[in-house]
Structure 1
Amino acid sequence: MPMLGGVRPPIASLVVLLLVVAALTVIGLDGIQSERIPQAVLNGEQQIAADTALSVRTTIDAEASAVRRTASAYPATSTSAPATALKALTSARKAVLGSALLDPRTGRLLAAGGKPVPLAGVDVAKTASGHGAILPRLVTSGGTRHLVYFARVTLPAQQEDANQDQNQTSNRADRQWLLAVCESLPTLTTYGDGRTAEVLDASGTALATTTRGTASPTAADSGLPAAAAHAASGSGRDTDASGSMLGGTAGTRRTVAGWAQVASTTGPGDTDRLGLVVLTSRAVPAITTAADYSRFALEAAGALAALALLLGLALHFLVQRPLLRLYLSANRLARGATEDGPATLEELYRPVPVHGFGELARIGRALESLRRQLLGESGPQEFPARRGPGYRALAVVCVVVVACWAVPMIFLLNRADTTSAVPAPVLADQQARTEVATNRIRQSLDQSYTDLSDAAARLPGTSRAAQSDVLRRVLADHKQYRSLYLLDRSGDITLRVGDTPLRTLVHVPAGGGITTVNTSGRIPAIAAYAQVRAAKGKAPAAGVVLFGEIDVKALNSILARPKLGSVWVTNDDNKVLAASVGYRAFQSLPDSGLTRLARATQGAPGTAGTATSAVLDSSSGPSVDAAAPLAQSGPTARLGWHVVTAEPAAALQIPAVQAEQRTMLAGILGLTLGAACLGWLHVVVIRPLRSVAVLVERLAGGDRRTVLHPVNHDEVGSVTRSLELIRQALAERGRAARSGHAAGSSRPLLENTLQR
């Protein structure tokens, strides 16, 4: 018989699979360990360090790009003086500590401003001779570490002799200066009360430190910077690796630290080779009561194993053995009906035992009636139409038995109270990470406004063609813009570069900042705008306001962060403007609890509001949620926008939530596999038996015309084939009796032979 056919495989599979689920229950639940510091807290601190490192990296990259962009846009001439050029290149940069212009061929200082730029150990010629952008360097000045940004300033070659011919002048190559700008390390912004953030160099020396609230470091925490630097160096210099560590213990609190490298994630970047590492740390309360799920796991697994063995024995004695005996009885009758000889005739005299109940009992009784009909002891027999419960009811009972174990596992046992199961530090970390994300979005929007303001300052007093050229360069240099356009005093567009504007609001705002220029549609149109001032002594420009529509895809791309969950940016009406997940423009937040959380961040009129967090229950399950106002100052301060995050509690490594998940998984597996095996048994055994029972009762009742076709190559199929042979034998006898040849049949001769 086929491996997957017959009555044995479903029953054996049911027992084996339920025992496997019992083993998985022990392994899964016994593996949950409730540490004094949950893994979710360590993961949260690691992600906060990674988010802080990303902010540092973004700031350094933006500053390096700004220095190079300024140098590239400087309108140098062959007669430009180094001192004048240096002043023009750095006058607009407030963060510059010192600057210098160098001759890249000799390294000679041509001009300097501010504090001396520490260039000891920097090979100027080698630095300037490379191709592509020159990466920033970490230098020491007066015992303090600073960053030096480099850029090439290209100017036409000077004409050394006015009488030289034109050919010699045209063949002379352009000259270059090397601009070096010294600035402090980016200012760290720390979120979360009691958290300390540090920027370390490759040796573990703290270059910048900031603390929010009151931190309580212990003596054992002094080794964390060196350990973080060592862990970062082991992961490679040009990666964005991160990790977590445990520090010292003070009373009931223990320090949790996270580290992350400040390195580019998408290939060579400005922060590569700096070897900077961000270390964040915070003292959190240790858990005093440890949860133990081993006893529950053993009890649940033992109960399921007992049910598996009980169901296996029940199905063996109620289905498998009776069916196999019926299979042997049917074969015996078929041989007696089709073969001649004393041995086969003797088998007809052996009564058919009736085993089991339901369909098997009905088939057994019908077979006994057919046996007597073959011997001529009785005629066709009618069977009652009303029957008792059959094997389908047995399968249903078995499913119910499995469900008695599975349903409590799915819906009742180990149900976590997420409000109390989520540790307070995890909730605080979600809020802190939301604030970090808010700061990152604010920086992006502020930078967009700054870039647009710089472009607007270059427009006054220039021709229409020059203005168009400036806007095209800005659009090429700043990928976050999708469209740049100038508005006149009536709100009409006088000059445009880039894609077709999405704006539907026609207005000419005063001042500058960030705003939305539509209130409906498929794509929210967020734009930076700045005034175009009239040039001194000249008529006002035709365009009075420069708008730069920000590509919402660029904004969406900076929202997603590992283990932060879904992130939304909402306007003052709590309508979605951007998100890290799929969304429709200006739709409401997916849950009313998130809307209430966003509203809770709003402060009194005129104030920025404060961040808040909570554990909320939604249709998709409990989640750790937080919301923060977008900005407290700058061009986005008055918008009233918020950043809302929601991380499913199931994604966090919280012991109570893990126990609930694995308990539910065990219940679902047990119910699914049990129902599947019993459904398999129903398809290959019970349903064919019901059909055979009807046919054999008709055959015993005198129906000799209905052909019995075996469907499966198993015990039920063999019984069907035997019944078909019996039907053919009875039909042949009926035809012989009707033709008057009943006296010449071989049956009386065989009986006399048997009697002798």
Structure 2
Amino acid sequence: MRPPTASLVVLLLVVAALTVIGLGGIPTAGIPQAVLNEEQQIAADTAQSLRTAIDTEASTVRRTASAYPATSTSTPVTTLKALASARKAVLGSVLLDRHTGTLLAAGGRTVPLAGVDAARTASGAVPPRLVTSGGSPQLLYFAGVTLPAEQEDPDQDYQTPNRPERQWLLVVSEALPSLTAYGDGRTAEVLDASGTALATAVHGNASPAADNSSLSAAAARAAHGSGAHTDASGSLLGAAAGSRRTVAGWAQVASTTGPGDTDHLGLVVLTSHAVPATTTTPDYSRFALEAAGALAGVALLLGLALYFSVQRPLLRLYLSAGRLARGATQDWPTAAAELSRPVPVHGFGELARIGRALDSLRRQLTGESGPQEFPARRGPGYRAFAVVGLLVVGCWAVPMIFLLNRADTATAVPAPVLAAQQARTEIATNRIRQSLDQSYTDLSTAAAGLPGRSRAAQTEVLQHTLADHRQYRSLYLLDRSGGITLRVGGTPLRTRVHVPDGGGITTVNTSGRIPAIAAYTQVRAVKGKSKAAGVVLFGEIDVKALNSILPMPKLGSVWVTDAHEKVLAASVGYEAFQSLPDPGLTRLARSTQSAPGTAGTATSAVHLTSSGPSVDAAAPLAQSGPTARLGWHVVTAEPAAALQIPAVQAEQRTMLAGILALAVGAACLGWLHVVVVRPLRAVATLVERLAGGDRRTVLHPVNHDEIGSVTRSLELIRQALAERDRAARSGHAAGPMRSLRENTLQR
């Protein structure tokens, strides 16, 4: 009896303490933590975009150099012109001898080569380097160029050994990738290791914060203290100006998966935004104390009720049953003293029934009365008492779960958090657009190498393209009728047979298990040379590659939809061409007005779902480029429960306290029912049958506790009564107690 009662009281008091700690620890003044977290994520997203741009450019320079068709007669000037002149982003370029570092050729602006040791770059990929030239920051990209060895001249009269292959080092200088600030009123900066701003971008009415220099220095120190080769990020609070305060986020431009091209640059992205400071917020400390006090009162009330109504009566019944058992197994003079006192009836329900039946058995042992029948209809028992106890706990828990501290959907989410979700959705949209644009650019490069070549050479070009660009799952050429004339890679998923004009991104199926997104471009014809195997080159993009770039930390679920709001790709599980999971998301996507031919604008809203408020945003995929005519959208949804918003935190912790209290009450009272109430009901039925004259049913104790001891005592009483009845039937009524005691000792 004691363990479930003590556990109920102690655990309810623990829940009361957790209620005070949980609700009392919610910050209710100044800038919500959710705003700081969102600014940190925006900085991290911007840093990742910058990192991706640098990594892509470094890979492009290396790939261009490795694909250059050098010959033994290639000169440094012609090689440099072929590698760098066609690239608009290149500011200047040089070609160095990789063994001696001698300058072989130069083009464009002067490339700052201070500290560049060409001999040490003979093996492995060289990461970009940040330099300053003319007061402006630049990035140096490196790539090796290998030329075949010069062959022997067969016309010479004497033989000379073949010269070894030549190793050149291409160095190109480019400006930092363009930086974009997302969200109205936000400023974005790229800082070097010392905190000096290298590039700045503003959006809308943004203006640099008054304490911008101190924020830059603090961000540089924080990034430096986080260690190298990490993608660390954080948030900072700036100075207040009137009712607004600057919130800043910083993030390292470093690889997320180990050593990368940007790890040694020491770049840090700093974003800042002035947000209104919260001045009037509810204080949950008083509510926490009141709720905890009420639960403590419920715990003590139930503990006292169980003690006085169940535990103490059960202990007294246990003593009374033991006394009767001793009286039934001892000699008459001693037994008379034990059996002469009536059995007190304590409590109600099953304990009262057992007490009355025990007193009837006492009278039968003393010969005062015979068997007694008990009424079958009885009043409420301890099972009803346990249910009432659970209802008492529920009276505290149910309002906590369903009624108190409910977050208002319209006002719970601060406006800066909603704006940040929209800004991050635009960042995700830009990332997806860049990926699709790059796929189109890569396909166009491959298509430029097809005209004028044999079918075998065209197949080789496509195979190299497929090997170099993992985002493609299949490359194929179409003729004028839409038939596939040349294919490399997997089986095409296309079901739409069409030969489009121009180039861009499109879908090539409208149903099926996997959405098929493809880049396409025209294959130009060259006069006087063999025709290409087809007129349009298609590259089906692996949807897994597209899905892999959608997840972003703390952005929630991300979907890419077509013009009809059907899902093409997502960061969560989905079926091809299914509708968005919530009608509110569909309406939000349509409200961007991103129909084909229109620019469209990003938008955001808070929707109430079955799991609570959700912070949602949508943006058109592109306003220009290969995807501009599609009318696709990017939609995101983040549950407000995942954000550190005070109103939502209060709702969550209030519900959690109610659930814990209800679970504790149900568990402990259920435990009490199993170990006390149910055995008591069984014992009450058996003792009433025994008092009614049933001497055949053997009473087996099941539990080793008070109820088990009562059962053992009842079994001794049953044996004594059965012995007396047998003695009476055999005519030996004298001394039944003595013979019963002797039989008990023999057993």
Q: Indicate the SS of the match to 1:116.
A: coil
2:720·2:740 contact (CA, 8 Å) conserved in 1? Answer: no
Q: Is it true that 1:680 corresponds to 2:671 in the alignment?
A: yes
Question: Aligned residue for 1:150?
Answer: 142
1:36·1:290 contact (CA, 8 Å) conserved in 2? Answer: no
Aligned counterparts of 1:219 and 1:647: Cα–Cα separation in 2: 33
Residues 83-127 of structure 1: per-residue CA shift (max 9 Å, x gap)? 11112112331111111111112222222221111112212222x
Q: CA, structure 1 residues 217+503, in 2 after alignment: closer, same or farther (shift >3 Å)?
A: same
Q: Indicate the SS of the match to 1:644.
A: strand
Residues 374-413 of structure 1: per-residue CA shift (max 9 Å, x gap)? 1111110001111111111111111111111111111111
- Correspondence 1:182-581 to 2 at 5 A: 182-340=173-331, 342-581=333-572
2:448·2:523 contact (CA, 8 Å) conserved in 1? Answer: yes
Q: Indicate the SS of the match to 2:181.
A: coil
Aligned counterparts of 1:620 and 1:166: Cα–Cα separation in 2: 87
Aligned counterparts of 1:716 and 1:166: Cα–Cα separation in 2: 115
- Matched AA of 2:726: R
1:547 CA displacement: 1.2
- Matched AA of 2:489: G
Q: Indicate the SS of the match to 1:77.
A: coil
Aligned counterparts of 1:401 and 1:325: Cα–Cα separation in 2: 27
1:533·1:540 contact (CA, 8 Å) conserved in 2? Answer: no
Question: Aligned residue for 2:94?
Answer: 100
Q: CA, structure 1 residues 164+645, in 2 after alignment: closer, same or farther (shift >3 Å)?
A: farther
Q: Indicate the SS of the match to 2:437.
A: helix
1:537 CA displacement: 2.3
Q: Is it true that 1:725 corresponds to 2:713 in the alignment?
A: no
Aligned counterparts of 1:114 and 1:748: Cα–Cα separation in 2: 123
Q: CA, structure 1 residues 388+103, in 2 after alignment: closer, same or farther (shift >3 Å)?
A: same
- Matched AA of 2:133: S
1:292 CA displacement: 1.1
1:718 CA displacement: 1.2
Aligned counterparts of 1:78 and 1:169: Cα–Cα separation in 2: 15
Residues 108-163 of structure 1: per-residue CA shift (max 9 Å, x gap)? 2222221111112212222x22x221111111110111011111111112247556
Aligned counterparts of 1:168 and 1:338: Cα–Cα separation in 2: 125
1:414 CA displacement: 0.8
Q: Percent identity?
A: 82
Q: Normalised by the size of structure 1, how large is the TM-score?
A: 0.96
1:218·1:249 contact (CA, 8 Å) conserved in 2? Answer: no
Aligned counterparts of 2:156 and 2:365: Cα–Cα separation in 1: 130
Q: Normalised by the size of structure 2, how large is the TM-score?
A: 0.97
Q: Is it true that 1:623 corresponds to 2:622 in the alignment?
A: no
1:28 to 1, 22, 27: 22
Question: Aligned residue for 2:58?
Answer: 64
Q: CA RMSD in A?
A: 1.7
Q: CA, structure 1 residues 160+538, in 2 after alignment: closer, same or farther (shift >3 Å)?
A: closer
- Matched AA of 1:143: G
1:609 CA displacement: 0.5
- Matched AA of 1:28: G
- Matched AA of 1:224: L
1:437 CA displacement: 0.3
Question: Aligned residue for 1:754?
Answer: none
Aligned counterparts of 1:99 and 1:692: Cα–Cα separation in 2: 97
Q: Indicate the SS of the match to 1:418.
A: coil
Q: CA, structure 1 residues 696+484, in 2 after alignment: closer, same or farther (shift >3 Å)?
A: same
1:746 CA displacement: 5.0
- Matched AA of 2:170: L
1:180 CA displacement: 1.0
1:467 CA displacement: 1.3
Aligned counterparts of 2:148 and 2:354: Cα–Cα separation in 1: 106
Aligned counterparts of 1:605 and 1:492: Cα–Cα separation in 2: 28
Q: CA, structure 1 residues 138+627, in 2 after alignment: closer, same or farther (shift >3 Å)?
A: same
1:348 CA displacement: 1.1
Aligned counterparts of 2:158 and 2:13: Cα–Cα separation in 1: 94
1:33·1:291 contact (CA, 8 Å) conserved in 2? Answer: no
- Matched AA of 2:45: D
Question: Aligned residue for 1:132?
Answer: 124
1:46·1:258 contact (CA, 8 Å) conserved in 2? Answer: yes
Aligned counterparts of 2:699 and 2:514: Cα–Cα separation in 1: 67
1:603 CA displacement: 4.6
- Matched AA of 1:632: Q
Aligned counterparts of 1:271 and 1:319: Cα–Cα separation in 2: 72
**Unaligned ranges ≥5, structure 2:** 742-747
- Matched AA of 1:148: L
Residues 352-378 of structure 1: per-residue CA shift (max 9 Å, x gap)? 000000110000000000011111111
2:594·2:632 contact (CA, 8 Å) conserved in 1? Answer: no
1:530 CA displacement: 1.2
Q: Indicate the SS of the match to 1:419.
A: coil
- Matched AA of 1:573: H
Segment drifting more, 450-459 vs 496-505: 496-505
1:14 to 8, 21, 34: 8
Aligned counterparts of 1:402 and 1:747: Cα–Cα separation in 2: 54
Question: Aligned residue for 2:168?
Answer: 177
2:720·2:737 contact (CA, 8 Å) conserved in 1? Answer: no
1:341 CA displacement: 5.6
Question: Aligned residue for 1:753?
Answer: none
Q: Which runs of 4+ in 1 moved over 4 A?
A: 160-170, 746-750
Q: CA, structure 1 residues 201+165, in 2 after alignment: closer, same or farther (shift >3 Å)?
A: farther
Aligned counterparts of 1:421 and 1:746: Cα–Cα separation in 2: 79
Question: Aligned residue for 2:633?
Answer: 642
Aligned counterparts of 1:165 and 1:365: Cα–Cα separation in 2: 132
1:487·1:546 contact (CA, 8 Å) conserved in 2? Answer: yes
Aligned counterparts of 1:748 and 1:732: Cα–Cα separation in 2: 8
Aligned counterparts of 2:565 and 2:737: Cα–Cα separation in 1: 96
Q: Indicate the SS of the match to 2:374.
A: coil
Q: CA, structure 1 residues 79+749, in 2 after alignment: closer, same or farther (shift >3 Å)?
A: closer
- Matched AA of 1:157: A
2:152·2:160 contact (CA, 8 Å) conserved in 1? Answer: no
Question: Aligned residue for 1:78?
Answer: 72
1:367·1:700 contact (CA, 8 Å) conserved in 2? Answer: yes
Aligned counterparts of 2:571 and 2:44: Cα–Cα separation in 1: 18
Q: Indicate the SS of the match to 1:420.
A: coil
1:257·1:280 contact (CA, 8 Å) conserved in 2? Answer: yes
1:309 CA displacement: 0.5
1:553 CA displacement: 1.1
Aligned counterparts of 1:746 and 1:205: Cα–Cα separation in 2: 104
Question: Aligned residue for 1:47?
Answer: 41
2:192·2:198 contact (CA, 8 Å) conserved in 1? Answer: yes
Residues 587-645 of structure 1: per-residue CA shift (max 9 Å, x gap)? 11110000000000115762121000000011222110000000000000011110000
1:183 CA displacement: 0.8
1:418·1:657 contact (CA, 8 Å) conserved in 2? Answer: no
Aligned counterparts of 1:162 and 1:291: Cα–Cα separation in 2: 93
Segment drifting more, 471-480 vs 429-438: 471-480
